[in-house]
Amino acid sequence: MSSSTTNSRFDPTFTDQVVNAMGPKTPERARVILGSLIRHIHDFAREVELTPAEWMTGVEFINSIGAISTPIRNEGHRICDVIGLESLVDEIANKIVTEQGLSPTSNVILGPFWSPNAPFRALGDSIIQDPLPNGRVTYMHGRLTDMETGKPIAGAVLDIWQASANAKYDFQDPEQSENNLRGKFRSNANGEFYWYCYHPTAYSLPTDGPAGVLLNLMDRSPMRPAHIHLMITHPEYATVINQIYPSTDPHLEIDSVFAVKDDLVVDFKPKTDDPKAELDLEYNVRMAQKKHHPHPNSEPPKSSFERSMGANKL
């Protein structure tokens, strides 16, 4: 594992002294996590010979994260996204590869905008409650199959959410009704699902806070490629939480939160046989039985919205 003596000019016992200060009542998992974290932070400081002024800049940056956060603005979550940490934690938690090399459709990060309140809708319904003139209505449809047997998966719950054509989610925008562009659907006996939604719209992370400061310092774009969020659950299958991206989006290579994977890039096609939609999107999902999940009983992450429900109802 990591070395505590990156630079021998410095007291080689100091990091051990800090880690070993943990008392006997420290829970074992906390000891492992905090021990590793303290070692890495110390190694980082020695490696770059962090100066007092640089350290204090970091202190003030950390303080600024919590200062701007609210029950519906989780800047700590956003900073983690910008440094790829949520994406990495998602991979660690959810990556599935069987001994035969089979993998289900990729997972990516939940993000901060999932809501537990999305209503069930009937297959074929639209999630567009508040139409916008520039919204491009899309007929989205596909099939859930078992990645090993190819058999259809019936009765799965598909929870979809997306920003509107103005690039805002319902709870960022007082003009949208609650659960606009959110909905839960059940796959039918053939594993099929279908509904109306919008072609997604690219948007920028909020840049008026620490994430903006950090992205600017790193000379990076705050843009996310346009995407539709999906959470697909079934009692016998590992949950799929992901996002799908139009193949034409110019931000696929510079996603500010590192959540694009090749199998999640999809093609929207013109639709001519349906007065209700101008675009067609076929998207099929391969799922893995729960036994293949590295942590089959782990709970999905909670969104800040969900966590704040008790505290601050919108």
Q: Looking at beta carbons only, is 11 or 267 nearer to a copy of itself?
A: 11
Q: How many amino acids of this chain bind a copy of itself (CB under 8 A)?
A: 83
User: Quick one: which segment of 57-65, 169-177, 180-188, 228-236 binds a copy of itself (CB under 8 A)?
Assistant: 57-65
Residue 289, both tokens: 């039985």
Q: Which residues in the 91-130 window bind a copy of itself by CB under 8 A?
A: 91-93, 95
139 burial (CB, 10 Å; 0-12 / 13-18 / 19+) is: buried
292 binds a copy of itself (CB under 8 A): no
Are 129 and 198 in contact, with CB atoms under 8 Å apart? Answer: no
Q: Which residues in the 10-39 window bind a copy of itself by CB under 8 A?
A: 10-11, 14-15, 17-18, 21-27, 29-30, 32-34, 36-38
x/- string (CB under 8 A) for a copy of itself, residues 200-229? -----------------xxxx---------
Residue among 145, 225, 272, 298 that touches a copy of itself (CB under 8 A): 298
Minimum CB separation from a copy of itself for residue 281, in Å?
27
Q: Looking at beta carbons only, is 115 or 180 nearer to a copy of itself?
A: 115
3-state secondary structure the chain: CCCCCCCCCCCCCHHHHHHCCCCCCCCHHHHHHHHHHHHHHHHHHHHHCCCHHHHHHHHHHHHHHHHHCECCECHHHHHHHHCCHHHHHHHHHHCCCCCCCCCCCCCCCCCCCCCCCCCECCCCCECCCCCCCCCCEEEEEEEEEECCCCCECCCCEEEEECCCCCCCCHHHCCCCCCCCCEEEEECCCCCEEEEEEECCCCEECCCCCHHHHHHHHCCCCCEECCCEEEEEEECCEEEEEEEEEECCCCCHHHCCCCCCCHHHEECCEECCCCCCCCEEEECCEEECEHHHCCCCCCCCCCCHHHHHCCCCCC
Minimum CB separation from a copy of itself for residue 299, in Å?
7
Q: Which residues in the 132-151 window bind a copy of itself by CB under 8 A?
A: none
314 binds a copy of itself (CB under 8 A): no
65 binds a copy of itself (CB under 8 A): yes
295 binds a copy of itself (CB under 8 A): yes
User: Quick one: which segment of 49-57, 185-193, 195-203, 270-278 binds a copy of itself (CB under 8 A)?
Assistant: 49-57
Minimum CB separation from a copy of itself for residue 248, in Å?
21
Minimum CB separation from a copy of itself for residue 243, in Å?
16
300 binds a copy of itself (CB under 8 A): yes
The dihedral over CA atoms of 269, 188, 124, 234, expressed in degrees to the nearest 10, equals -80
User: Quick one: which segment of 46-54, 148-156, 175-183, 230-238 binds a copy of itself (CB under 8 A)?
Assistant: 46-54
Q: Looking at beta carbons only, is 7 or 248 nearer to a copy of itself?
A: 7
User: Quick one: which segment of 60-68, 114-122, 163-171, 181-189 binds a copy of itself (CB under 8 A)?
Assistant: 60-68
